[in-house]
Amino acid sequence: MANRAKRGLYAGRQVNFAKNVSFSKRRTQKKQKPNVQPTSFWSQTLGRMLKFRATTHAIRCVDKAGDIDAWLMKSPASLILNPQAIKLKKKINKLTRRAKEASSASGDAPV
């Protein structure tokens, strides 16, 4: 993965190289950059908005997963290269684990 993916949520997308073909059939190189949009996602676990630069593919993936928390938890580490997103994934994982432990502890108490 390129360093560009460390700037936001790219979900595996990267720069592609292609060729322009003119009428005279002369081929020239061009870069096809991922479609990156500034966007905000609501985190249920953290209770706040998270701002990221994300590709449109990543935005659709988050929508399909339900929310940013679910997408971060199910995505492999190879797709999440942004240091901020990696920290958030660890934080969300920690908070959900604590919530599960608290609910299991209160559920096991004798009445």
Alpha-carbon distances, residue 69 vs 17, 18, 27, 46 (angstroms) = 33, 35, 44, 9
Q: Is 30 exposed, middle or buried (0-12, 13-18, 19+ CB in 10 A)?
A: exposed
**Which residue is it, tokens 């928390």?**
69
pTM, entire model: 0.81
In order along the chain (111 residues), what is the average pLDDT of each group of 10 residues?
A: 79 93 97 95 94 95 95 91 92 91 74 51
CA 40 remoteness from chain centre: 11
CA 62 remoteness from chain centre: 7
Show the tokens assigned to 80: 């999440």
C-beta separation of 40 from 48 below 8 A: no
pLDDT at 6: 81
